[in-house]
Structure 1
Amino acid sequence: MPGTRRRSNTERRDESQARILDSAEALFAARGFNGVSVKDIAKAAQVDTSLVHYYFASKAGLFTAVLRRHAPRVNQTRMDSMAAYARSAGTQMTVEGVLRAYLEPAFRLAREGGESEQNYMTLIAQISVLTSDALPGVDTTAFDPAIEAFISMLQQVRPEASREDLYWFYHLLTGAITQSWARTGRIDRLSGGLCRSDDFDTIVEKTVAVFAHGLTVGETPR
């Protein structure tokens, strides 16, 4: 067609890779790593299986690429949010404020980012209960900087809390986060529709309300 610009090889490559990643992300989130084949992904992405292997070498390589796809953005939004809160609150920081600064960015990304981001959060929730050697690319190092910043801010707010308590606090909090990201629908059924597992705004508010008063201070009982 006259006037239509031909796409460059780079543009075509980027489009193909994005389509493969989108398809893999959705399928892995729905079925898990072992429930999906390269053939399934290639079919969903409308490409030949050889192209998947060409770009990502293997299913394991593709899975790793999917896990690392949104991590920089999630980390950066969290870091920016916590830094902004620290600047605005100064010496008046609270556990509630730190929690909100840490929680809101990722849930906002899941709510506003679309299907891809929601699939990613679901996938992260699924792998969070696995050991680091269970599947390729399953590690927490991508998120560690934001987690350590979060714990350091909690330490500033509650200097009397032991480092051990702070890590246990994070451990319990991350369980609530990943349960919410999984969007299992269980709370929908249990509550008879009073609560929705995709109501991210309410989830943030309830999580902040519960955990803001749940930081144990003092020695852990023996």
Structure 2
Amino acid sequence: MMDNVAKSRSTAQDADLVENAWLDELTPPSTTRERLLDAAEELVARFGFDAPSVRDIAAAANVRLAAISETFGGLDNLTSAIVERRSPTLAKARLEQLADAQADGPASLEAVVAAFIKPLFARMEVSEKWRHFAQVSAQLGSSAQWDKRLGHFLEIEAPAFLAAMRNAEPDLSQEQAAWCFAFLMGAVASATSATGWVSQLSDGMVEENDLEGMQSELLVYVPAAIRAVAQAVDQVRIGTPLPNPPASTKTRDRILDVAERLFAAHGFYGVSMRKIASAAGISVGLFHYHFKTKEGVFLAMCLRRHPALNEQRWEILEIAREMPQSRERLATVIHAHLCTPASHTKRGGRGWSNYFRAMTTAIPSHGVYWLSTLRVIADDIMHAIVAETVSAVPNLSRRRAYLAYLFANGLVAFCYSGSARIERLSQGALKANDYPSMCEQVLRFHVGGVIGIAAVR
């Protein structure tokens, strides 16, 4: 009887939030403040926090250039207001659903995860503005600089969910719960960013705008992943790091080093050719001589490091192919994908750290150029990782393997962005640069999640 009451209450809440989301979507912004927030939110969602200029936002909002300083006091305050506007509303809805789930005692792990995921997806289903907010959240989670400044707004509900996860899964330690909550946030961010990368990679097998289907898979993947962390059964081997490219005084290499650092801090769309040239101490003309375009320097940056990373991944996949179909084989495949970068980031020097941060800031970005770059540097190895994932797990379809890859992208973005999220969630007990611990937990999480979705017919 109580289950039916709780279900009815949840259904009523869903109906209310859908109605309110429709009102939010259909009511045109009535003030300059709302128009600016909507315009800035959409631009940040697509291109990251550092890309939109005052002029870009004012033009998109169809307001005077001075309106931003008059309304918000400047671009920085407007950027903060984007995150502050919706995050309390979402946190409140999540906490209310969690409270309902716990009304008669500790909630199941499935109910805890649903309380986190469903309120966001319900709003996204009926409101393009909430889709933009979800994409803004993904941008925030992949940028260490912006996460440090605004990340706490996305963690208002974290203490209640960390406690609920441990009540549902008593074997989960405080530190493991913090890792799991961070991974949950990463997987949801990737599932809602809708960049088109995995749709392209899977030749349309995965439709990233299928929110209902994405939610259904996450509701299975995440509880199974958390239980795997609590059980602590999978081990990980961190490989030997590859060296940085040799130090060079050549102008071309100096430009690449500087570009790597700037892309790591500001993302692809937040960096200009002029910025790179100035930081490298050269003229824009000399930059053009070496690389022609910003796209050219970004691709050269990728081609300088990614082949060495992929070579190590291929070697690990060869080991996996010799193993019988088993959980250990899956763990080896996932190690190739998620954990190979850890050895370079931890022991391969600042250059590798900057490179992975530059790549993670690009993961939630939208744009034809970024997708075409991924095709050049990652298509073959990622298709191989998906194929080997299918080979390792009985009954796992290729579609679900691509979905698992999509969720894993969010884990990668969290793990290698340099975000301080894990330090906040663990109240300082864990460190963002503790790569052995991070790698151990992320491998267990993703192995468990993949096996979980494979078990669903």
**Partner in structure 2 of residue 77 of structure 1:** 312
Displacement of 1:217 after TM fit? Answer: 1.7
Q: d(CA) in 2 for partners of 1:213 and 1:91?
A: 15
**Partner in structure 2 of residue 190 of structure 1:** 425
**Partner in structure 1 of residue 454 of structure 2:** 217
Q: Which has the larger radius of gyration?
A: 2
Matches within 5 A, 1:99-178: 99-133=334-368, 138-178=373-413
Matched, 1:45 2:259: no
Secondary structure at the residue paired with 2:377? coil
Q: d(CA) in 1 for partners of 2:429 and 2:397?
A: 38
Q: d(CA) in 2 for partners of 1:35 and 1:214?
A: 34
* CA deviations over 1:125-179 (Å, ceiling 9, x no partner): 1111123416596434421211121122122221311111111111111211122
Matched letter for residue 206 of structure 1: Q
In structure 2, do the counterparts of structure 1 residues 197 and 140 end up closer, same or farther at CA, with 3 Å as the change threshold?
farther
Displacement of 1:219 after TM fit? Answer: 5.3
* CA deviations over 1:110-132 (Å, ceiling 9, x no partner): 22221111111111111111234
Displacement of 1:86 after TM fit? Answer: 3.0
Q: d(CA) in 1 for partners of 2:371 and 2:398?
A: 30
Secondary structure at the residue paired with 2:315? helix
In structure 2, do the counterparts of structure 1 residues 218 and 84 end up closer, same or farther at CA, with 3 Å as the change threshold?
closer
**Partner in structure 2 of residue 15 of structure 1:** 250
Q: d(CA) in 1 for partners of 2:343 and 2:265?
A: 21
Q: Which runs of 4+ in 1 moved over 6 A?
A: none
The worse-fitting range, judged by mean Cα deviation, of 136-145 and 163-172 is: 136-145
Secondary structure at the residue paired with 2:413? helix
Q: d(CA) in 1 for partners of 2:348 and 2:374?
A: 23
Q: d(CA) in 2 for partners of 1:34 and 1:98?
A: 32
CA RMSD of aligned residues (A): 2.4
The worse-fitting range, judged by mean Cα deviation, of 56-65 and 127-136 is: 127-136
In structure 2, do the counterparts of structure 1 residues 134 and 145 end up closer, same or farther at CA, with 3 Å as the change threshold?
closer
**Partner in structure 2 of residue 5 of structure 1:** none
TM-score relative to the length of structure 1: 0.82
Secondary structure at the residue paired with 1:77? helix
Displacement of 1:78 after TM fit? Answer: 0.7
In structure 2, do the counterparts of structure 1 residues 22 and 46 end up closer, same or farther at CA, with 3 Å as the change threshold?
same
Conserved? CA contact 2:387–2:398, under 8 Å: no
Displacement of 1:55 after TM fit? Answer: 0.5
Instruction: Select the residue among 55, 66, 85 that pairs with 2:290.
Output: 55
Instruction: Select the residue among 316, 326, 331 that pairs with 1:96.
Output: 331
* CA deviations over 1:57-99 (Å, ceiling 9, x no partner): 1223222322333121121111112213433x35565322322
Displacement of 1:218 after TM fit? Answer: 4.9
Higher helix share: 2
Conserved? CA contact 1:111–1:200, under 8 Å: yes
Structure 2 unaligned blocks of 5 or more = 1-247
**Partner in structure 1 of residue 222 of structure 2:** none
**Partner in structure 2 of residue 3 of structure 1:** none
Matched, 1:202 2:440: no
Displacement of 1:47 after TM fit? Answer: 2.5
Number of residue equivalences: 207
